[in-house]
């Protein structure tokens, strides 16, 4: 029990979220263990992003409990949530959400600065990360001149800046063509292999089968299917 | 036709609802600006025609004539009301002049005494009086004095006169007409043994002093007139005091107008521009360019109209209050604030201005292609701005500060407009503070304002024949005396001044009484030196060091000009009494001026001197400094600064609001990667604080320059010159204060929208992209 607790990175207990009476999440219970890569799938409007926002502490459940890394996110105040977001989780968005006014390097370093890393050290780590992700020569480029795949890789680098226990990604390949999507998938898979816990939302079956160790399917705010995956295998239990 | 119109309305209303804070701030800005405008117009119209307005409103008399009761009958005098050229008349009122008592009087009286008229009520067809304090006389033993309570003139004071019943002051009233000093009931005046009739006339023709005299002669039709007061005298006297202030009031008024026009234009057009991103959507929905324009104009129409209405009402009250204060201060009946047509015009002007400010960008919005409109709201892609932002983020500055300082760089045009608003505000406040100091100094710079107690000499008493030095010695013996000087006015002939001049001579310990009103040179320090008014120096083209030949009592002598003091009259000269030959015959008794020691109460000092010096024929009065003018200006300045600062703060608020809306996504990103709301607030506030500091740095020197320009120009226009201490009024504190105002206004203005922006739900913002 003790050990299990410690290994559990995310635990949702009967989480409900309603928007004006309509339930976006309807009593969802879900756990993610350390080292897992969980893919959340389902039709549009089924509540996938709502779930991710809940885990990222960007939104609060109407009822139920969201525990991430042992902390009850649903009970936190704004300042505590901000601290939680910058230390515990890293987030990757469908539309990258980089700051247009800063070059790639500073977009990544920014996350480090937020946790109090001095400017110079933060830039050094950001440069390292960008190099790891194959963007060494693009570090001074502004988001506007980067390709979609490059932007997403910058987004991933930013999410990894503070070595989060959990990496969250909402449709990370949703705005990319299949070839660049492939690159990003490769990157995520690689990260997970190195031990990074992943929770990703996607429509993209290829991405799910490629990176995930487990797939959860949502319909109308409920989990309708859950399956362990043989990585690299097929969407087995169909 | 109904359908598209209602669609436009619906879109406008939705726009208003979605931007409550912005809509509210537009309403508030317009209200403030309109109030400022009406207030400014009130100042300008007051400076232009205050006497005439007050005179018209009070139906002031062009002439107040005094008939000798011994040589005319009441019926004869009453008949002059129907004389030719008389358009209205009041009276006859019976009058009597109460002689000054030998001893001290509770109510200071001129040596010629106090003239009172019997008058049943303050209204009537001519010379309507306005009470400034207390009430009108109701029965015997009561008197209403001209003016307002001030120093020893107060309600409940007693007017005593030898052989006449004592009168209690029950009220004070002002009149736009000269004539009498006080009013009692007709029954009371009968008991005071009246000896004259007062008739007040309004004439068809009264354009200049000569016309007033001709009109009065025609009306009197041969009845002997003992004397008369022309309204021209009152007008001249008023103008002499008021004209010094006109340039300052005008500047205040013009500043108010400029600030309000600027802020309305800025805020309204900013509101429209910030909505550009929705244009694409509207066009996609099939709105025509005309309809898009209407939506944007409609969006600001409601708050503008509401703000304008509120502003008119507030401005009306403020201006009315201000004009009432000014009038009271100059002992005139109040003419009310701004005239209604002018206010209506101001309201119309504000609406037209707002419509123009909205229409220009709205028309552009209508014509803008959808795609371009969508990108119009996004952040600039300018290289240099980028480099500055990158550099700021890479410095050792805390992250929110570095990011915040970069925000104005990203939007240089908006930052410039916001900065201009802040500069204007700081300039206005700096200038206002300086003008306030200048006016205060002008009002307190002369000899009179340095004096704490004035001591007069009754010529009928033994003291009347004492020398000025002996009198001064007597007063100096009184405990609490710090300095005494004896001042005597002597007629003097000066080449170039046909009507003659008056020499104000001082003897004894006069140095501490000489004020800060020197325009050039220095004060006289002994015999042989003279300090004329600057107006005289300019008239004659004289310089410090030039000789001046004068003639006093038939003796010619040459004096050396050592300086000049600020005054618009050309016939004033100040010098040491020993410069002039002794007067022939019985000398005019001097006026003794006293400065009391620190900690001595002037009133107690005067009372004591009245006790001990009465037998010698000395009577002392505290020199009531005219603090009312200062209070008035302080009030005016305060109201004005507050309005300007609020307007500037709202400009900042608006700018932050627009910036936050544009950057909603960036703020969401920052929060998503873990920036706490407090730091988001810090970032937004920093961006404006930088502008506030810049506004202070630019606005303060501009304000100082503008102040110097205005003050020097005023001195030149009046011909009186301005003393150096009136121009160089700015010390460190006075410069630091407006500089801080810039920062404070920026921070206060940025705070509410920054807090709001920081509180926006991140998930909502990020999903909307
Ligand atoms: N802030 C919000 N306000 C109102 N309704 C919301 C909000 N966020 C989500 N919803 C609603 O909740 C439901 C789930 O939305 P969610 O964004 O989680 O779906 P999703 O599974 O991520 O869909 P997609 O695949 O299209 O991204 C939807 O019906 C949506 O309209
Ligand atoms: Mg989604």
Quote the ipTM score.
0.82
pLDDT of residue B705: 92
The alpha carbon of residue B38 is apart from the nearest alpha carbon of chain A, in Å, by 44
A94 alpha carbon – ligand 2 mean position (Å): 9
Are the C-beta atoms of residues B660 and B684 closer than 8 Å to each other?
Answer: yes
Which protein residues are within 6 Å of ligand 1, measured from CB? A 19, 24, 42, 44-50; B 764
Nearest CA in chain B to A114: B675
d(CA B510, CA B450): 11
Separation in Å, CA A167 to CA A37, A96, B48, B201: 9, 14, 74, 95
B675 alpha carbon – ligand 2 mean position (Å): 23
d(CA B286, CA B12): 15
Cβ contact (<8 Å) for A111 and B410? no
Q: Out of A97, A123, A144, whose CB is closest to B665?
A: A97
pLDDT of residue B578: 85
**Residue A197 — very low, low, confident or very high, per pLDDT cuts 50/70/90?**
very high
> How far is Cα of residue B237 from the mean position of the Cα atoms in its chain?
18
The alpha carbon of residue A55 is apart from the nearest alpha carbon of chain B, in Å, by 12
The alpha carbon of residue B366 is apart from the nearest alpha carbon of chain A, in Å, by 28
pLDDT of residue B192: 75
d(CA B559, CA B546): 9
Nearest CA in chain B to A52: B763
> How far is Cα of residue A203 from the mean position of the Cα atoms in its chain?
15
List CB contacts (< 8 A) between B379 and chain A.
100-101
The alpha carbon of residue A205 is apart from the nearest alpha carbon of chain B, in Å, by 22
| Collapsed DSSP state (helix, strand, coil) of residue B79 | helix
Q: What is the largest CA-CA distance in chain B?
A: 102
Cβ contact (<8 Å) for B669 and A142? no
| Collapsed DSSP state (helix, strand, coil) of residue B128 | coil
Token pair, residue B705, equals 């320059």
Q: Out of A85, A95, A144, whose CB is closest to B769?
A: A95
Interior angle at CA B215, CA B211 and CA B216, nearest 5 = 115
Q: Give the bridge partners for A32, in sequence order.
A: A10
List CB contacts (< 8 A) between A118 and chain B.
396
Q: Whose CA is nearest to atom 8 of ligand 1?
A: A50
Q: pLDDT, tens digit, for every residue of A16-56? A: 999 888 999 999 999 999 999 999 999 988 999 899 988 98
List CB contacts (< 8 A) between A123 and chain B.
394
Low-confidence ranges of chain B (pLDDT < 70): 1-19, 47, 100-112, 149-153, 240-241, 244-245, 249, 252-253, 256-257, 260, 271-286, 326, 328-338, 368-384, 447, 458-466, 585-587, 614-615, 624-634, 764-769
**Residue A234 — very low, low, confident or very high, per pLDDT cuts 50/70/90?**
very low
Q: Residue A47 CA: which ligand 1 atom is closest? A: 18
Q: Give which of B674, B757, B760 to mutate to test A binding, by max A Cβ within 10 Å.
A: B674
Low-confidence winner among A124-133, A223-232, B17-26, B102-111 (lowest mean pLDDT): B102-111
Q: Whose CA is nearest to atom 13 of ligand 1?
A: A24
pLDDT of residue A220: 92
Q: pLDDT, tens digit, for every residue of B495-542? A: 777 777 888 888 888 888 887 888 888 999 888 899 998 888 888 888
Strand A8-19 with A22-33, pairing: antiparallel
Q: What is the largest CA-CA distance in chain A?
A: 51
Token pair, residue A167, equals 């990496």
The residue to mutate among A12, A19, A171, A221, having the most atoms of ligand 1 within 8 angstroms of its beta carbon, is: A19
List CB contacts (< 8 A) between A112 and chain B.
none
pLDDT of residue B378: 47
Domains of chain A: 2-228 (3.40.50.300)
Statement: residue A159 has pLDDT above 80: yes
Identify the DSSP state of A173.
T
Cβ contact (<8 Å) for A86 and B673? yes
pLDDT of residue B464: 56
Nearest CA in chain B to A88: B674
Cβ contact (<8 Å) for A97 and B668? yes
Q: Give which of B667, B672, B756 to mutate to test A binding, by max A Cβ within 10 Å.
A: B672
d(CA B451, CA B464): 22
Q: Give which of A87, A92, A97 to mutate to test B binding, by max B Cβ within 10 Å.
A: A97
Are the C-beta atoms of residues B540 and B496 closer than 8 Å to each other?
Answer: yes
Cβ contact (<8 Å) for B673 and A158? yes
Token pair, residue B113, equals 């005494």
Dihedral pair phi/psi, residue B110, rounded to 5°: -65, 160
Q: Whose CA is nearest to atom 20 of ligand 1?
A: A45
Q: Whose CA is nearest to atom 3 of ligand 1?
A: A19
B762 alpha carbon – ligand 2 mean position (Å): 14
pLDDT of residue B2: 45
């Amino acid at each position: 029990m003790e050990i299990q607790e410690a290994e559990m990175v995310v635990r949702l207990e009967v989480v409900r979220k309603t928007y004006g009476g309509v339930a976006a999440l309807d009593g969802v219970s879900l756990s993610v263990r350390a080292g897992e890569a969980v893919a959340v799938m389902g039709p549009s409007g089924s509540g996938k992003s709502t779930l991710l926002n809940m885990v990222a502490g960007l939104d609060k459940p109407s009822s139920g409990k969201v525990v991430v890394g042992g902390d009850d996110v649903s009970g936190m105040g704004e300042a505590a949530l901000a601290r939680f977001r910058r230390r515990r989780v890293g987030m990757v968005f469908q539309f990258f959400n980089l700051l247009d006014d800063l070059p790639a390097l500073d977009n990544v370093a920014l996350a480090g600065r937020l946790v109090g890393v001095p400017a110079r050290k933060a830039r050094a780590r950001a440069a390292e990360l960008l190099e790891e992700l194959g963007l060494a020569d693009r570090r001074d480029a502004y988001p506007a001149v980067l390709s979609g795949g490059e932007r997403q890789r910058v987004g991933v680098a930013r999410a990894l800046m503070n070595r989060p226990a959990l990496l969250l990604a909402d449709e990370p390949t949703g705005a990319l063509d299949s070839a660049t999507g492939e690159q990003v998938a490769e990157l995520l898979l690689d990260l997970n292999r190195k031990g990074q816990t992943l929770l990703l939302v996607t429509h993209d079956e290829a991405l799910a089968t490629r990176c995930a160790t487990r797939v959860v399917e949502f319909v109308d705010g409920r989990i309708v299917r859950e399956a362990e995956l043989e990585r690299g295998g097929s969407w087995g239990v169909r | 036709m109904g359908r598209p119109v209602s669609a436009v309305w619906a879109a406008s209303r939705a726009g208003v609802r979605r931007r409550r804070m912005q809509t509210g701030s537009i309403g508030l800005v317009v209200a403030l600006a309109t109030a400022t405008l009406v207030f400014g117009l009130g100042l300008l119209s007051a400076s232009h025609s205050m006497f005439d307005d007050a005179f018209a409103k009070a139906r002031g008399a062009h002439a107040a004539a005094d008939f000798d009761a011994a040589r005319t009958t009441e019926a004869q005098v009453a008949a002059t009301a129907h004389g030719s050229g008389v358009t209205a008349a009041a009276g006859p009122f019976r009058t009597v002049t109460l002689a000054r008592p030998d001893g001290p009087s509770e109510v200071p009286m001129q040596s010629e005494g106090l003239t009172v008229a019997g008058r049943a009520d303050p209204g009537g067809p001519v010379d309507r009086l306005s009470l400034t304090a207390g009430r009108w006389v109701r029965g015997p033993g009561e008197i209403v004095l001209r003016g307002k309570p001030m120093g020893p003139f107060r309600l409940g004071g007693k007017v005593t006169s030898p052989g006449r019943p004592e009168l209690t002051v029950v009220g004070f009233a002002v009149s736009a007409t000269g004539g009498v000093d006080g009013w009692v009931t007709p029954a009371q005046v009968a008991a005071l043994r009246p000896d004259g009739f007062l008739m007040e006339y309004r004439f068809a023709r009264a354009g200049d002093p000569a016309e007033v005299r001709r009109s009065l002669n025609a009306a009197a039709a041969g009845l002997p007139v003992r004397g008369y007061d022309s309204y021209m005298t009152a007008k001249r006297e008023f103008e002499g005091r008021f004209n010094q202030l006109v340039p300052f009031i005008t500047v205040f008024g013009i500043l108010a107008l400029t600030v309000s026009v600027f802020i309305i234009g800025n805020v309204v057009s900013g509101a429209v521009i910030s909505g550009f991103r929705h244009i694409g959507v509207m066009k996609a929905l099939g709105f025509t360019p005309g309809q898009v324009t209407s939506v944007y104009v409609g969006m600001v129409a409601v708050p503008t109209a509401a703000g304008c209405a509120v502003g008119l009402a507030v401005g009306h009250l403020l201006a009315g209050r201000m004009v009432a204060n000014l009038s009271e201060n100059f002992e005139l009946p109040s003419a009310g604030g701004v005239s209604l047509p002018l206010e209506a015009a101001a309201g119309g002007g504000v609406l037209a201005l707002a419509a123009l400010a909205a229409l220009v960008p709205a028309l552009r919005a209508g014509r803008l292609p959808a795609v371009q409109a969508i990108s119009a709201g996004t952040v600039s892609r300018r290289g240099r701005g980028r480099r500055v932002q990158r550099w700021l983020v890479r410095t050792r500055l805390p992250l929110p500060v570095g990011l915040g300082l970069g925000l104005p760089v990203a939007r240089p045009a908006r930052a410039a407009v916001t900065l201009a608003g802040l500069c204007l505000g700081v300039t206005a406040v700096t200038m206002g503070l300086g003008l306030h100091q200048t006016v205060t100094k002008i009002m307190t710079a002369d000899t009179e304002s340095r004096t704490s107690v004035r001591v007069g000499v009754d010529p009928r008493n033994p003291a009347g024949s004492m020398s000025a030095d002996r009198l001064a010695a007597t007063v100096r013996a009184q405990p609490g005396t710090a300095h005494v000087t004896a001042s005597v006015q002597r007629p003097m002939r000066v080449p170039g001044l046909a009507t003659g001049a008056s020499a104000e001579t001082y003897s004894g310990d006069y140095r501490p009484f000489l004020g800060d009103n020197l325009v050039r040179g220095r004060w006289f320090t002994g015999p042989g030196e003279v300090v004329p008014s600057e107006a005289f120096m300019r008239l004659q083209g004289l310089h410090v060091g030039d000789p001046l030949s004068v003639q006093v009592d038939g003796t010619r002598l040459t004096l050396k000009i050592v300086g000049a003091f600020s005054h618009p009259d050309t016939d004033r000269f100040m010098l040491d009494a020993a410069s002039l030959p002794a007067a022939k015959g019985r000398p005019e008794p001097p006026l003794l001026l006293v400065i009391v020691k620190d900690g001595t109460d002037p009133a107690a000092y005067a009372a004591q001197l009245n006790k001990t010096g009465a037998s010698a024929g000395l009577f002392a009065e505290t020199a009531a400094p005219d603090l009312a003018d200062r209070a008035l200006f302080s009030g005016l300045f305060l109201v004005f600064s507050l309005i300007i600062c609020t307007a500037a703060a709202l400009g900042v608020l608006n700018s932050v609001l627009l910036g936050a809306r544009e950057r909603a996504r960036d703020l969401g990103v920052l929060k998503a990667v873990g920036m706490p709301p407090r730091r988001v607030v810090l970032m937004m506030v920093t961006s404006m604080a930088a502008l506030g500091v810049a506004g202070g740095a630019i606005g303060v020197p501009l304000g100082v320059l503008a102040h110097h320009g205005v003050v020097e120009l005023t001195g030149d226009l009046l011909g009186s010159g301005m003393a150096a201490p009136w121009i160089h009024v700015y010390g460190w504190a006075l410069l630091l204060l407006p500089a801080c105002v810039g920062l404070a206004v920026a921070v206060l203005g940025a705070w509410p929208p920054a807090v709001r922006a920081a509180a926006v739900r991140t998930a909502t913002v990020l999903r909307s992209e």
